[in-house]
């Protein structure tokens, strides 16, 4: 059944079309207009066969269109009776400007619905067999962005002394590549140098790459192609060994 005029704020997941929710898949097939971010995979966009598809991404600060213009486009289309899917990579509520768009829709009196998705941090951990909340090692998960424009402090800096704890797993979106500076900040916050870390690029996709290290060796991490996620914490202990064993097993299977 065709959806009524409304804006759906939909999570596209980390990139693998198989990780879309059933509802997201259905909405893409029924939408009149899809407004998507840069990071949404092309394989997911092909599901919107009957819709007008527009890229409204603002990747790495390079704005093709302002947030106000995106808000206006959603509102105008819905008021014309269209079913609009605002498609965001990962989950719309994790660094996806969800609140700003909800505020605009509510002010305009436009009906909307949020459809969650698998966020990249969860996908990165799952791909390596990591439980972010291993109860033996982690009592909390801290989700932050390394992008200074999104910092929680007025000067754009992250307050690691209050966030980084031995019983926490850190999930850092858009970590950049200044890993030596991050190393010094985490050590200054009291974290031990042997705590494991891993950077994951293009989580859940065929292009996924990752590299394990420790806080003490963060400065030696390679600059993997974005989008990337940096995971840090004792919940990662043993994941490097499991990952290497799985890679060897897969290589043997391919050779047979």
Q: What is the pLDDT of residues 227-254, one digit of tens each?
A: 999 999 999 999 998 776 555 344 444 4
The mean per-residue pLDDT over the stretch 78-103 comes to: 97
Helix (H) or strand (E) holding 211: strand 209-214
> What's the mean per-residue pLDDT of the chain?
90
Which candidate in 37, 74, 88, 91 is catalytic? 37
Is 174 an annotated catalytic residue?
Answer: yes
Q: Which residue has the higher pLDDT, 49 or 148?
A: 49
Query: What pLDDT does residue 19 have?
Result: 97
* pLDDT confidence band for 42 (50 / 70 / 90): very high
- CA 83-87-89 angle, to 5 degrees, is 170
Q: Which residue has the higher pLDDT, 251 or 208?
A: 208
Is 74 an annotated catalytic residue?
Answer: no
CA distance 237 to 79: 52
* pLDDT confidence band for 2 (50 / 70 / 90): low
Which candidate in 16, 32, 88, 174 is catalytic? 174
Query: What pLDDT does residue 245 have?
Result: 55
Which candidate in 6, 23, 58, 137 is catalytic? 58
- Record the pTM: 0.88
Is 58 an annotated catalytic residue?
Answer: yes
The mean per-residue pLDDT over the stretch 165-188 comes to: 95
CA distance 154 to 55: 30
Q: Are strands 52-55 and 140-145 parallel, antiparallel or unpaired?
A: unpaired
Report in angstroms the alpha-carbon separations of 155 from 2, 147, 149, 186, 255. 47, 12, 9, 18, 53
Cβ contacts of residue 184 below 8 Å, gap of 6+? none
């Amino acid at each position: 059944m065709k959806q009524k005029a409304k804006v759906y704020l939909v999570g596209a997941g980390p990139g693998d079309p198989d990780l879309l929710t059933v509802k997201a898949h259905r909405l893409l097939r029924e939408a009149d207009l899809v407004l998507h971010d840069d990071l949404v995979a092309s394989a997911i966009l092909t599901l919107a066969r009957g819709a007008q598809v527009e890229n409204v991404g603002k990747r790495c600060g390079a704005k093709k269109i302002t947030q106000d213009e995106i808000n206006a486009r959603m509102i105008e289309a819905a008021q014309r009776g269209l079913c609009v899917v605002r498609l965001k990579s990962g989950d719309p509520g994790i660094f996806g400007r969800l609140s700003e768009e909800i505020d605009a829709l509510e002010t305009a009196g436009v009906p909307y619905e949020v459809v969650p998705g698998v966020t990249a941090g969860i996908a990165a951990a799952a791909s390596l067999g990591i439980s972010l909340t291993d109860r033996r090692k982690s009592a909390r998960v801290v989700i932050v962005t390394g992008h200074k424009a999104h910092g929680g402090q007025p000067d754009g800096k992250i307050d690691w002394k209050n966030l980084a704890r031995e019983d926490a797993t850190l999930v850092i979106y858009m970590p950049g590549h200044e890993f030596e500076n991050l190393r010094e900040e985490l050590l200054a916050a009291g974290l031990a140098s042997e705590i494991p870390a891993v950077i994951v690029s293009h989580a859940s996709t065929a292009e996924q790459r990752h590299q394990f290290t420790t806080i003490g060796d963060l400065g030696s991490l390679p600059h993997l192609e974005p989008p990337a996620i940096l995971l840090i914490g004792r919940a990662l202990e043993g994941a490097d060994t499991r990952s290497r064993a799985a890679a060897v097993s897969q290589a043997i299977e391919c050779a047979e």
